[in-house]
Amino acid sequence: MMKNNLDGLKDVYGFTLVQTLKSKPFKTFVLILFVIALVSMPLIELITNGPSRESKTSDISKVCVIDETGLPLADYSSIKENNLYKDIVFEYTDKSADEIENEILEDDSGAILLHITSDMGVFNMRYINSPSGKVSEMELINLSGFIEDIFWTNVISNLGVTTEQKERLEEPIITDFKFYTGEVDDIEEEEGSRFGVTFEEYYFALFAFVCITMLISYGGSGIATTIVTEKSTKLIEILLTRIKPMAIIMGKVFAMLTVTIIQLSSVVLGLGLSSLIYKNAFNSDAYLPEFLVRSLGSSVFENVTLANIIVILIMYVLGFIFYGFLAGLTGATVSKIEELREGMVVYTFLTIIGAYMGLALPIIGLQGSVPSGYAHFAFLFPISSVFVTPVYLLFGKVTISIALLAILLLVISTILVIIFTSKVYQTIILHQGNIIKFKDLISISKTSKEAR
Amino acid sequence: MALLANDLTKKYGDKTVLDHLSFKIEEPGVYALLGTNGAGKTTALRILLGMLNFEEGRVTWKGKPLDPTTSNVGYLPEERGLYPKYTIMDQLLYFAKLKNMPRKEAKEKIAYWSERLDVEDYVYPSKLKKNKKKFYTAEQLSKGNQQKIQLMIALLSDPELLILDEPLSGLDPVNSDLFKSIIREEINKGKYLIMSSHQMPVIEEFCEDITILNRGKTVLQGNLNEIKKGYGRVNLFLRCEGDILPIIKEYGLSLVSQSPMEYHIRVEEEETATLLLRRLIEEQIPVIKFELREPSLHEIFVEKVGVVDDEE
């Protein structure tokens, strides 16, 4: 009975996975990732709001308000509903601004002055704090946002505008031109504006690219290292008497894929715990710090649906397998572990090209528009699709049909890489000597046949 | 017939590295593949083990194409290594699992071979303070001990066919004797062994049938005893009191070597040696040693490989 080409894959998978999980570099790496993720939320909160936030209430004790606008006075007490500001006292005063300013300058209890004036159709809100240093600038800026909101609501409501009407009034006006010149580029320009990104999306895309590139590079490097270890120690000769070569490389690719998913999960778990810590430590209603929500914007989160997550996971798995086989192939072209970096030039080059092709989209997109042809090429081209398509699917800028087409192309490319690997792997894995060049791989693939 | 290698030919481009090699193993015992470096021994073994594709020929084991992944074949490669960072026990269990051995059976075999090869200290973790255990990794073992672990990997599944490529190279005399005793045990168990070695005395000690390869071609093949008989008893080892060089010259014999104690003379036929002995007795030269024997494998090997090289 001839052995199936993939018999033993499970054993290789289990052994590679367990040994990688037991290794010190993996444990250290995951621990670092987990700790970073765990402290991230409280850290962001502390950095953005300062250490005073540890007290869970603002250091601002009193706001002395001088309102010289002539409008009915606003009621700021609703700010106290926010736990952070629950102890703040708002006090209107008839004293002069200079008088209060002098009092504030000598105060060290956390009182501040808010001086509201109206001049030439502009409302001015001026804040003055004590030089004692008790109240930080960031605290003032954060509070000003709430005060401004209440003040404006008060202005509007005094004009007889309802809350709903106010919301409509606050809707932004976006002006767009569809200006035809008769040139062919017109249509592309119109289409390309779909791929423009906001600053929030840009930063999110950068973060996502770094994560995907890091995971694929880490996995690829792990696959290549174990393959060249088996080759340089001649263990491969023993393995080949027990198992077919395709089962060896495939087992390693799947094992490292699992390793990167475990790494990713540790980050997600860390972030989840971090959110819980943030929620409890800062007595907040939200799971994410205000800074994060404000920075990333709602557009990043609104496409997090189950279907999109499944498509993204499939793309990641396929992309990893595609790059994993390339890594295994390039790892097998060298005979010594010292030559691995040199041997993996092609793999590294492809990864960088793919990542940069993806990275170019948000960079160009910041200008407002990306050539539609380039965007679609990057979404569909198997080298770049794994880096960019999942991110733009989350932005809602890639339709599900484009994502499915990208998956199909990735499947075809992965199958081609696997077929090519099966043709050359057994020959090159036994080769000892100089690094095998790409053109040599091509000629081997033309002449090779299955050894058994 | 157990193993049949028929007409095996392997080429790299225009270069033929194995040229129509054929041999068969009919009975349990050790078959030797000999040759100089680059003669094609390892290539032949890799073809037998299905690692390399080849242009012509076929390999059958018990009448069916040999597939080491399904047949119970053990292999000790010439250049040896283990996973440097992994524990010895993990590696042994992994290789046993790849041979579809149940874990319990694998552990029993590991226990047996660890004791037999005296590597228990490295296979099983030693207890340290606070219930901590120290596991040995391959990189912490000496070369000889790594070699023992590799032999253990080859033997774990109790293979029917055992292929050993230079099994004794790099071993100290004590471990060399240990390996030899294990090889002898395997022969006694009725196993089939194929051995490649440069150590001719080892081959003479174990092997019945041999193939000598030179530059991919078979230059000599057959039963070692028959081959030697074919050469006849042409080596005369002689120790006498007194100078016998003039007599040796008189008979036109070729002196292979001379030490203070002994002459090594090459004779064309046994009768010449008898004539020489008769002459020494007539001359009343005391003869202490008179030994007439077949050529050693070493001599046959050097002669065969040298002749072919000269012809080329």
The per-residue pLDDT for range B257-309, each reduced to its tens digit, is 888 888 999 888 888 889 889 999 998 899 999 998 888 888 888 888 875 55
Query: At the fourth CATH level, which superfamily is domain B1-71+160-230+296-312?
Result: P-loop containing nucleotide triphosphate hydrolases (3.40.50.300)
Please state at what angle helix A185-192 crosses helix A372-380, rounded to 10 degrees. Answer: 60
- Look at A370 and B30; give whichever has higher pLDDT: B30
Q: Number of residue pairs across A and B with CB atoms under 8 Å?
A: 85
Mutate to test the interface with A, among B98, B153, B166 (most CBs of A within 10 A): B98
CB A324 within 8 A of CB A253: yes
pLDDT tens, residue by residue, A129-170: 888 777 888 788 888 888 888 888 888 888 877 777 777 776
Reply yes or no on whether the pLDDT at B25 is more than 90.
Answer: yes
The alpha carbon of residue A412 is apart from the nearest alpha carbon of chain B, in Å, by 28
Asked if A426 reaches chain B (Cβ–Cβ under 8 Å), the answer is yes
> B276-285 long-range CB contacts below 8 Å, 24 or more apart?
B276/B236, B276/B238, B276/B247, B276/B248, B276/B251, B279/B247, B279/B251, B280/B240, B280/B244, B280/B247, B283/B247, B285/B240, B285/B241, B285/B242, B285/B244
pLDDT at B156: 95
CATH of the domain spanning B233-293: 3.30.70.1150
pLDDT at A387: 93
Q: Could B52 and A238 be called an inter-chain contact, meaning their C-beta atoms sit closer than 8 Å?
A: no
CB A261 within 8 A of CB B109: no
pLDDT at B300: 87
Give the span between the Cα atoms of B276 and B254, in whole angstroms. 13
Q: How far is CA A414 from the centre of its chain?
A: 25
Mean pLDDT of B170-197: 93
Boundaries of CATH 3.40.50.300 in chain B? 1-71+160-230+296-312
Torsion, Cα A371 A372 A374 A377, to 10 degrees, reads: 180
B211, HSE (Cβ side, Cα atoms, 13 Å): 25
Are β-strands B254-258 and B263-266 bridged in parallel, bridged antiparallel, or unpaired?
antiparallel
**3-class secondary structure, B64:** strand
Q: What is the mean pLDDT of each run of 10 residues along chain A (452 residues)?
A: 74 95 91 89 74 64 88 86 84 86 84 87 86 79 85 83 74 60 55 71 85 91 92 90 91 96 91 84 70 62 82 94 94 88 87 91 82 90 93 87 94 93 84 82 73 44
Give the span between the Cα atoms of A198 and A365, in whole angstroms. 8
Give the span between the Cα atoms of B7 and B20, in whole angstroms. 4
Buried b (16+ CB within 10 A) or exposed e, A20-56: beeeeebeeebeebbeebbebbbebbbebbbebbeee
Are β-strands B161-165 and B133-134 bridged in parallel, bridged antiparallel, or unpaired?
unpaired
Are β-strands B56-61 and A89-92 bridged in parallel, bridged antiparallel, or unpaired?
unpaired
Strands of A62-67's sheet in order across? A89-92, A62-67, A111-119, A122-129
CB B218 within 8 A of CB B225: no
Q: Could B67 and A238 be called an inter-chain contact, meaning their C-beta atoms sit closer than 8 Å?
A: no
Query: Domain map of chain A by residue range?
Result: 2-47+196-447, 62-169
Pair of tokens at residue B170: 């790099």
Boundaries of CATH 3.30.70.1150 in chain B? 233-293
CA distances from B182 to A96, A275, B176, B206 (A): 105, 63, 10, 12
Q: How far is CA A84 from the centre of its chain?
A: 29
Residue type, B28: P
| DSSP for residue B139 | G
Q: Between A2, A8, A234, which is nearest B81 by CB?
A: A234
The alpha carbon of residue A241 is apart from the nearest alpha carbon of chain B, in Å, by 5
State the residue for tokens 């100078």: B243
Chain B CA closest to residue A229:
B83
Give the span between the Cα atoms of A238 and A228, in whole angstroms. 14
CATH 3.40.190 fits A62-169, yes or no: yes
Residue type, A2: M
Whether this model's ipTM surpasses 0.85 comes out as no
Beta bridge partners of B29: B192
Beta bridge partners of B18: B10
Chain A residues with CB-CB distance to B77 below 8 A: 234, 237-238
pLDDT tens, residue by residue, B50-71: 888 888 899 999 888 888 888 8
Residue type, A450: E
Give the span between the Cα atoms of B176 and B263, in whole angstroms. 31
